[in-house]
Structure 1
Amino acid sequence: MVPTPDAPAPAPLLSAADVRRIAAELDLRPTKQWGQNFVIDPNTIRRIVQAAGVGPDEHVLEIGPGLGSLTLGLLDAAAAVTAVEIDPVTAERLPQTVQEFRPASADALAVLHADALRMTAADLDAVRPAAAPGGPTALVANLPYNVAVPVLLHALAELPGLRHGLVMVQEEVADRLAAGPGSRVYGVPSAKAAWYAQVDKAGTIGTQVFWPAPRIHSGLVAFTRREPPTTAVSRAEAFAVVDAAFAQRRKTLRAALAGWAGSPQAAEDALVAAGVDPRTRGEALGIEAFARIAEHGPRRAAGEGSA
């Protein structure tokens, strides 16, 4: 038999020593303000990229790239990466890191120095990498713990072209995002995320793969975009019902939605018309039921609230 050649070794990713070296060069001390916990374990990066299922023809959006550990892994798997970074120091350094470790992929990276909670599709389009086939189709990110849910929901709302993704968040947040009706951790994040996508927990990450090491484990959350549950009401109208239902989650929906509907009786009328028992609590309903309630309630011109 003719021996098969050995598979080429994977391209190097940032080691713990690399991360600390770059941080020292920048005189950077990770801050809680921006949720900076840098991944220092290459095997964890490979696990995340593999679990994300990124294709070679995809343009990936990465939020909070930090020093570039995950960025390098994504550049190996995708056609292009746009990284959104709020820290001006790490945003400016990231292209240099890519040039050092992946010189052939330099044109496949774009960096947007911005707050991810305020980024727009136009912002991303303005810095699109030369190698990008189009707008981002996947979101893969180690999200800052303190803003993970609003950042994820904002990205899903602002970028309908995101078809799938994988984000790393605080483990209890991962459990909430993936929870279904009836779970004790099901709530506003669960219901709102379900408007956009099928959301599942995809694993747990320990503390020692980060620098500095957080006190709690992280969770991987995978999502796949799907059509909204209805076109009869807007996302803002459905989310207004979700917010009202969970603002007083121990109360029945008749009582919890009284303010939203105008009175307890009006809330009951909307619930009955939607086929929901007024004695039910919000934690028992999926996003489809919240959307039906919105269809039968007062139409508000309110914004998206906490969406």
Structure 2
Amino acid sequence: MPVIPPRPRHPPPDYVQNPYFDRAWPQHMYLNPSSPVLPTLQFPPGFNISTTPLITFRRVDLLLSTTELEILHREKHPEMYEEEGNFTLFSDEAVWSLSPTTYIEDLFLLPLPYGNYANLIVSTAGHWTTSMFSGYATIDGLISFFAEAMHAWATHTQLALSHDSGVLLPGGQKKNRNVLVRAYLPGHEDCHTHRSPTAQIPPMKWNWYNWGSIPEFNHVFQDLLANHSYPNIHFLPIDRPARLRPDAHATGDCLHIIAGAGVLEGWTEYVWHYTTWFLGGVEGE
């Protein structure tokens, strides 16, 4: 078997010294070659500790690139460009997004020894705001375009998965790869006035960003994936436990949930059970 040169590993950014470092930087988790659990593990043929990540994070704000969204929008809504000759879909707000060709075909579906991912987890519409999509004055029109864009995204994604040979398991079996769409979690207004979980989801008072409309964006995706045309893309409506936890935010941040509050840990356990038991079959079973 030929010796595979290790993929160069760049030192991770120091977010303490530079808190504004680009969060879109790809982050990989590898096995530690000196781990005492290594002898107890079974690996698929071709797995290489130096080059095969266990997990990879990429920031993709909109699920499609801005160029793809602009082309799609012009195709779906030519009247908006005819009525206003200077119409632009996006503002100059910073955005980090990629084409699904980049993060699905060129990353998620990578074969061994540089990849062997089984599941891709994405979330819905956290960055679909009227400040980002300044061509829309109201959120209702943006939600309609979101539905059109996610139909295009799901069609592209399912086609790529259908043509894929699958993830390789120890023993040489293969199983289908899957994409999980997690319902996005809106923030909690006045989160720091809460000191305990709530029995009901706190109502929005000011509708910061697009928080009050996040359930509508989530429903768009849930309805879309109820269609049997997307057998390898699954919607996970696991946002409610976190929506009952306005007390679980970090200081000065009413959007992101802190580790240790039980929310992220609960999501992780649920996703693990879902992918292991519900999606765990191999080809031929």
Q: Give the TM-score normalised by the residue count of structure 2.
A: 0.28
Larger helix share, 1 or 2? 1
Which of the pair has the greater relative contact order for Cα pairs under 8 Å at 6+ separation? 2
Q: Give the TM-score normalised by the residue count of structure 1.
A: 0.26
Larger strand share, 1 or 2? 1
